[in-house]
Chain A
Amino acid sequence: MSEGIGARVTRKEDKRFITGKGKYTDDIRMENQAYAAFVRSPHAHATVKSIDASAAEAMEGVIEVLNGAQLTGDEIGNIICGWAITSKDGSPMNMGAWSALATEKVRYVGDAVAVVIAETQALARLAAEAVEVEYDELPAVAFAEKALQAGAPEIHDNAPGNLIYDWEIGEEAATDAALAGAAHVTEMEITNNRLSPNPMEPRSAVATYDESEEHYTLYTTSQNPHVARLVLSAFYNVAPEHKLRVIAPDVGGGFGSKIYIYPEEITCLWASMRTGRSVKWTSDRSEAFMTDAHGRDHVSTAKMGFDADGKIVGFKVDTIANFGAYMSLFSSAVPTYLYATLLSGQYNISNIHCNVRAVYTNTVPIDAYRGAGRPEACYAIERMMETAARELNMDPGELRRRNFIGEFPHETPVIMTYDAGDFDGNLDKALAAANVTGFAERKAEAASRGKLRGLGYSCYIEACGIAPSAAVGSLGAGVGLWESAEVRVNPVGTIEILTGSHSHGQGHETTFAQIVAERFSIPIDNVQIVHGDTDKVQFGMGTYGSRSGAVGMSAIVKAMDKVEAKVKKIAAHTLEASEDDIVIEGGEVKVAGTDKAMGWHEVGLAAYTGHNLPDGMEPGLKEGAFYDPVNFTFPAGAYICEVEVDPDTGVTEIVQFTAADDFGTIINPMIVEGQVHGGVAQGIGQAMLEQVVYDDDGQLITGSYMDYCMPRADDVPFYTIEHNTTVCPGNPLGIKGCGEAGAIGAPPAVINAITDAIGTNDLQMPATPQAVWTALQSVQTPMAAE
C-alpha cells in the first residue's frame, strides 16, 4: 500500500496515546520540583489596597509568596499584543498595561495578584487561600455595548471610553449609495456568542532555572514554543533567547488557546529563578474557564442590498468586538484582518464596508479560537444570505449561485485575492449528498409525527496559511509568518524532519512523514518528525490558522528540493551519468531507463563517508529552508444541516450534517476527515450548546462543566463528508488547509436549519431548547395553529 500523498495511513503517533505513554506537560516531574498556586481576584474590577502573605508564609512547606511589585521590581515586562491596529482617524490602538501579577488594580475575576510556591500542589493551593488581599471594589462592566456607553466604568487609563480602536475597511460612501439604490435590503442584528476553547488538557508549565549556566528551561502546553521563547525574551525580559529553552511536548489540544503566553508561564519562570526550584503549575478546569483566552463575542448590525435579479450590490457591517480586560497576543487581528477581510464570502460583491470597535470589558481576555474572525464573518454573511433568500422568496441555493464568484483570481473589495475555487461544484456535491430533493418528503413525514424539519445552508470561505510576511507586516503584525524546516538524511538513509510547526492532535508525525515518503520513496517508519523543542528546531512560527500544511509542509518541500538536488549530484557522480537522468523511485536512486542504481541508503552513506563526492562538494546530507507564503490560501465549502425540532420542548436534533469541502491537495484523507468532524462538532457546540455567561457585575457564571455545555457524543450526528478539490496554486503541494473549516462553516448552517424549521428568524446562538421554544412561542406555526 502506498504511504505517500493521498494515502489513508493510520497514525504513527497513536501507539503512545492508546497505551497511556503520551508525555504531556503535567506528566513531567523535575527533581527538586515545587508547585505554584495563584492568588486570584474574586472581583471583576477593584483596586488592590494591600497583600498580606504572612499567614501563608508561616505555613510549613510554603517556600515563598511572590507578588506583582516584586515581579516588576525584577523588570519582568508587561504582556503585549503583537499586532498593531490603527484606528480610522490614524491613532494607534490603546493597549493597556498587563502585568503577569497585577499590582494596583485587578480587571477581571481571575486576574492574579500573587503566587504561592510550596512543596506540594495541595499545600500551595491551601496557602493561596491564606493570602489576605484587601480590595476596594470598583464598578465593573462585562458587555462590550455597555462598556461603550457614556458613564461606563473605565478599565484602563489610556483607553478613554474603553475603546481600543475604531477601525474600518472598504468604501463607506459607495456602500451606502449601493444600499440606497438596492431593490431589496436585508437587515439583521447578529450576535456571535462568547466561547471557551476547552482543549481537554488544561494548561500547564514546568520551569527550571539553572543558576550555574544562567539558563532556563520551560516545559509548557504551547502551540508555538519558538514564539513563546521570542516573546518571553524580547518583551517579557525573562531571559535572552540563547538562555531559554522552551519545550512543548505532547499537547492535548489547543484550538488557539495555547498560542498565547500567559501570566502563569512567565511567573513560573521568574519564580524558578527567585526560589532556585523547578516550579510547576497545572490549571484545573475552573481555573481554565477564568484564565484561558475566550473566543468570539461580537455584536453586529448588518445590511445587505440586492438588485432586482438577486445580485448583491452592497454589504455593510458595524461590529462591536469584546476584548476582555487586556489585549491578548493576537487579539487585535481577529476582528479586523481575520474577520472583515472575509466579508465578501463566496460572492461577487462590489461594495463592502465594515466598521469595528474593539472594547475593553471586565472579563477574561478574548483572542483567536478555532476559526478566529472567519467564523464571525461566515456567520454574518451566511445568516444574511439565507434570510435574504426567504425574504425574496428564492431558493437559498439559487440565490447563492447567482452571486458566486466563478473566475479566479478574484480580488474582493476587502483586500483578499482568492486564487482558486469551485463554489458551484461544492454546492452540487453537498446538495446531492444531503439528498435535498427528498427534503419535502422528509419534512412531511416529520410533520406527521408532530416534528418540525428544517434545512439550512452555509457556503463558507476562509483564509488560511497565514501568511506572507511582508503583507502581514504592512498590516501591523509584529512577526513574520513563514515556516522553517530542516531535512536530515542519516548515513543509513533514515530521515529526521525538524519542523517549526507543532502538532497537538493534527497528526503531523504521520502526514509530514507521508510527503517525505512520497518524495524519497522510503517507508514512513524511516522518517521521524521532530518538533516542539527550541533546542532541537532552530526556529518556527507554530501551528494555528490551519497553516501547518500550506506553510509548514511547504518549508519541508523546499528543504527536500535541496536534498534531492544533492542526492542527484552524488548519484550522477557515482553512477557516471547526467544529473538530469537520475530518478528516485522504489527505494533506489537510478539512472532512468537503465539498470544502473544505488540504494537510497547508499547515497546517504556516500554523502557522509565523503570518499567519493563530486569535486568541491561538502560532505553530509542535511538541508534547511524557510518558506514564506505568497498569499493566503482559501479553503471553501458548502455545508447543509437538517434538523428536527420538537415544538413542545424546543429540543432540536441534527438528523443530518453534510460537509462538502475544497481543501486543495489532501495528504491523508482519514486525518482531514477527522479535522472536519471535530470542527463541525465545535460549530454545532457554538450554535446549540456553548455560551460563556457573565452577570452584570462581571462574575463568571459558567465556571465549570456543570455550567458550560460541551458537546457530548449524543449531541452530534455522524457527519457526511465530501471533497471537491481545486488545487491551491500558491504553494508547492497545492494545499489549502482544513483545521478550522468545520468550526467556520457549521454554525450558520445549523441556525439556518433551525430557523427554517420553526418559521422565525428571531434566534441567536446558542439555540438551546429554551431559546428555540421561546422563539417558537412568538410565531403561529402552521402546526400550532392546527
Chain B
Amino acid sequence: MSNVKMTVNGKSVSRDVADTTLLSEFLREDLRLTGTHVGCDTSQCGACVVHVDGRAIKSCSALAVALDGAEVTTIEGIADGQNLHPMQAAFKANHGLQCGFCTPGMIMTGIDMVNRYQADGKTLTTEAIRDELEGNICRCTGYHNIVKSIEEAAGQMSGMAKAAE
C-alpha cells in the first residue's frame, strides 16, 4: 500500500492504495468517479481516457502510485457548473452518442486533440479527427456523428480561444 495524493477535477484527494491499483480503478473504486469506463484489457478501446497534467492518457494503463502529485481531469470535471463544455454540447447536438459507454473517452480524447492542434496552429480536418480516434472504439454510432461532433466543437473552442486572446 502507498499513499497517493492527486488533484482530481480541482479537488485535492489522498488515499492509501495497493501498488497495483490502476488509475482507472482509483478513479472508479476509490473516488467513485464512475464516468470513466473500462471497455477492454489491452488499452485499445479508449473508454477510460482522462487528462493527466493536461494530456490525454488511458487511465487503464497507468498506475495510481506513479501519478502522485498529478493533476487529473475526468469527464465529471469538464463542465463549468451547469454549462456544458463545448465538446459535451457538440456530442449532444450532433447525436454523437448512443449507448453512452464510449462517450466519456471520446469527449476527453476530442478535447485533447483540439487543444493539441490549436496549440500547434494546425487545422483539425475530418481526416485528422479520424486518425486521432485510432485509440477510441465506438460500436454504436459508426463514427459519423462523433467526427461531426468533434469538428463542430473544434470550431467553437477555436472561437473561445480567440475571444480569450
A200 close to B95 (CB less than 8 A): no
Enumerate chain B residues within 8 angstroms of A16, measured Cβ to Cβ: 100
Q: Which segment, of B61-69, B117-125, B140-148, B157-165, faces chain A?
A: B140-148
A251 to B99, CA, bound (A): 7
Partner among A202, A253, A286 whose Cβ is within 8 Å of the Cβ of B98: A253
A471 to B50, CA, bound (A): 51
Tell me the minimal C-beta distance from A411 to chain B in angstroms. 35
**Which residues of B (108-157) have their CB < 8 Å from a CB of A?**
126-127, 129-131, 133-134, 136-147
Enumerate chain B residues within 8 angstroms of A253, measured Cβ to Cβ: 98-99, 101, 139-140
- Tell yes or no: A14 within 8 A of B by CB: yes
A200 close to B99 (CB less than 8 A): yes
B75 close to A285 (CB less than 8 A): no
Partner among A19, A202, A286, A674 whose Cβ is within 8 Å of the Cβ of B88: A19
Tell me the minimal C-beta distance from B37 to chain A in angstroms. 7
A255 to B41, CA, bound (A): 21
Q: Which segment, of A414-422, A446-454, A703-711, faces chain B?
A: A703-711
Partner among A20, A255, A680, A711 whose Cβ is within 8 Å of the Cβ of B36: A20
Partner among A199, A674, A713 whose Cβ is within 8 Å of the Cβ of B130: A713
| CB nearest neighbor in B for A676 | B142
A24 to B35, CA, bound (A): 9
Partner among B39, B42, B140 whose Cβ is within 8 Å of the Cβ of A706: B42
Enumerate chain A residues within 8 angstroms of B33, measured Cβ to Cβ: 20
- Tell yes or no: B45 within 8 A of A by CB: yes
B37 close to A255 (CB less than 8 A): no
A20 close to B35 (CB less than 8 A): yes
- For B18, B47, B137, which residue has the most chain A Cβ atoms within 10 angstroms? B137
Partner among A10, A20, A681 whose Cβ is within 8 Å of the Cβ of B34: A20
Partner among A10, A29, A704 whose Cβ is within 8 Å of the Cβ of B40: A704
- Tell yes or no: B3 within 8 A of A by CB: no
- Tell yes or no: A506 within 8 A of B by CB: yes
| CB nearest neighbor in A for B147 | A713
- Tell yes or no: B13 within 8 A of A by CB: no
A705 to B42, CA, bound (A): 7
A17 close to B144 (CB less than 8 A): no
A710 to B127, CA, bound (A): 19
A507 to B129, CA, bound (A): 26
Tell me the minimal C-beta distance from B142 to chain A in angstroms. 3
Enumerate chain B residues within 8 angstroms of A11, measured Cβ to Cβ: 92, 95
A678 to B99, CA, bound (A): 11
- Tell yes or no: A783 within 8 A of B by CB: no
Tell me the minimal C-beta distance from B88 to chain A in angstroms. 4
- Tell yes or no: A582 within 8 A of B by CB: no
Q: Would A716 and B143 be within 8 Å (CB), given that A22-B35, A199-B99, A505-B100 are in contact?
A: yes
Enumerate chain A residues within 8 angstroms of B146, measured Cβ to Cβ: 713
A21 to B138, CA, bound (A): 19
| CB nearest neighbor in B for A677 | B142
- Tell yes or no: A154 within 8 A of B by CB: no
Q: Would A200 and B39 be within 8 Å (CB), given that A18-B84, A680-B142, A713-B147 are in contact?
A: yes
Enumerate chain A residues within 8 angstroms of B40, measured Cβ to Cβ: 284-285, 704-705
B137 close to A719 (CB less than 8 A): no
A718 to B44, CA, bound (A): 23
| CB nearest neighbor in B for A717 | B144
**Which residues of B (9-25) have their CB < 8 Å from a CB of A?**
18, 20
- For A20, A22, A26, which residue has the most chain B Cβ atoms within 10 angstroms? A20
- Tell yes or no: A122 within 8 A of B by CB: yes
- Tell yes or no: A27 within 8 A of B by CB: yes
- For B45, B134, B146, which residue has the most chain A Cβ atoms within 10 angstroms? B45
Q: A707-738 CB contact bits vs B (8 Å, 1 = yes)?
A: 00011111010110000000000000000000
A22 to B104, CA, bound (A): 10
B137 close to A712 (CB less than 8 A): yes
- Tell yes or no: A250 within 8 A of B by CB: yes
Enumerate chain B residues within 8 angstroms of A705, measured Cβ to Cβ: 40, 42, 44-45, 137
Q: A686-715 CB contact bits vs B (8 Å, 1 = yes)?
A: 000000000000000000111000111110
A253 to B142, CA, bound (A): 13
A719 close to B144 (CB less than 8 A): yes
A682 to B91, CA, bound (A): 21
A340 to B102, CA, bound (A): 35
- Tell yes or no: A514 within 8 A of B by CB: no
A719 close to B37 (CB less than 8 A): no
B91 close to A677 (CB less than 8 A): no
**Which residues of A (17-71) have their CB < 8 Å from a CB of B?**
17-24, 26-27, 29
A19 close to B95 (CB less than 8 A): no
| CB nearest neighbor in A for B133 | A713
Enumerate chain B residues within 8 angstroms of A711, measured Cβ to Cβ: 142-143
**Which residues of B (76-93) have their CB < 8 Å from a CB of A?**
76, 79, 84, 88, 91-93
A427 to B55, CA, bound (A): 48
Partner among B92, B99, B107, B147 whose Cβ is within 8 Å of the Cβ of A201: B99
- Tell yes or no: B74 within 8 A of A by CB: yes
B92 close to A674 (CB less than 8 A): no
B102 close to A719 (CB less than 8 A): no
| CB nearest neighbor in A for B43 | A705
Enumerate chain B residues within 8 angstroms of A10, measured Cβ to Cβ: 92-93, 95
A27 to B37, CA, bound (A): 9
- Tell yes or no: A664 within 8 A of B by CB: no
**Which residues of A (202-237) have their CB < 8 Å from a CB of B?**
202
B35 close to A19 (CB less than 8 A): yes
A284 close to B92 (CB less than 8 A): no
A15 to B85, CA, bound (A): 12
- Can you list 24 A-B pairs with a CB-CB distance of less than 8 A? A17-B100, A18-B88, A20-B75, A26-B38, A122-B20, A199-B101, A202-B38, A250-B100, A253-B99, A253-B139, A505-B100, A505-B140, A506-B98, A507-B98, A674-B140, A679-B142, A682-B139, A682-B142, A705-B44, A710-B137, A712-B143, A713-B147, A716-B144, A742-B142
* Residues of chain B whose beta carbon lies under 8 Å from any beta carbon of chain A: 18, 20, 28, 32-42, 44-45, 47, 74-76, 79, 84, 88, 91-93, 95, 97-104, 107, 126-127, 129-131, 133-134, 136-147
Known A-B contacts: A18-B107, A122-B20, A200-B99. Give 20 more (CB < 8 A).
A17-B100, A18-B84, A19-B88, A20-B35, A20-B104, A26-B34, A200-B37, A201-B37, A202-B39, A250-B99, A252-B99, A674-B98, A678-B140, A679-B142, A681-B143, A705-B137, A706-B44, A711-B143, A713-B143, A716-B142
